[in-house]
Copies of this chain bind each other. A is one copy, B any other.
């Protein structure tokens, strides 16, 4: 059985485990006040060309999204978000548990447009009963999106502009950022992305780490009390150096980027293989999630040897399948799959 269900099926890149072994008996201060976190933050600042950025290390994505969003909103504000956004669909009521409404905006393959944001803000501003309506207080998007698509530089620049116009902080969920950076057609470098948003995170869990997400705040004055809120929300790891060590390793010799490139390269081979055999696709994803459309019979046959996600119904009784590649996937695994389709 070869699994393509997700990109968090394995442990960590061997270089990370190696570092954990080497440093295991060192004694360091807790909660991120250690030299590894410091070194990792420095490397991330350099990679982002954001020399003043605050960098915080957290354990997982839901935790990160919750802490960032509740740190940025006033009590009566909500967060604009694609209706397919992770915070709207797959994090239970994490955001609502902090008192805020997720303001879902209809998305197309995971993406919203600058004009969608403007429309939502104007609808609130122009409503006579605006005091009775949640105010859009910030914008959450994902790069790549939950369905593998990516924002172009032009699209993100337009979103940035409308956010600035209406005073909305822009937050980018980068759980799979490595895949976006490696995507064919991507025209957004990490420094450019850092310049176009107010806060984002670099996902480790889905890109070679055991766990861990690195929040980057280019303007470090954006949020007051981030670490206390991190602690309050259970997101301040006691042995914080585990996060520092992992990100320090990932940002040494471009490992983070190389792992993304590996995953995307295999995803492209997988896509090519399906396309060659004539399979239709739900949409043309340039990242490590691929969505071929299968008949019930095709899906059942493949499930004998492979696992993958069912992503909903398509036309004529078919189903959308999701195949994920990752830093740990191998050419061999993809070849096996393509042989069976």
Contacts and interface: CB of A to CB of B under 8 A. Distances in A.
Interface string A12-38: 101001001101111111110000000
A228 interface: yes
Contacts of A2: 27
Nearest to A32: B131
A23 B17 CA distance: 11
Contact of A75 (B63, B71, B234): B71
A232 B25 contact: no
A11 B23 contact: yes
A76 B225 contact: yes
A283 interface: no
Given A12-B24, A25-B11, A66-B234, A100 B93 contact: yes
Interface string A203-232: 001100011000000000000110111011
A309 B188 CA distance: 47
Contacts of A229: 75-76, 92
A6 interface: yes
A62 B92 contact: no
Contacts of A76: 92-93, 225, 228-229, 231-232
Interface of A: 2-3, 5-6, 8-12, 14, 17, 20-21, 23-31, 59-64, 66-67, 70-71, 74-78, 89-94, 96-102, 128-129, 131-135, 205-206, 210-211, 224-225, 227-229, 231-239, 242, 309-310, 328
Closest A-B pairs by Cβ, 7 of them: A63-B234, A11-B24, A76-B228, A92-B232, A9-B27, A3-B27, A93-B101
Given A31-B131, A76-B225, 19 more contacts: A3-B27, A6-B30, A25-B328, A59-B234, A59-B237, A60-B236, A62-B234, A62-B236, A64-B234, A71-B75, A89-B133, A92-B134, A92-B231, A93-B100, A99-B99, A131-B227, A131-B228, A205-B238, A210-B242
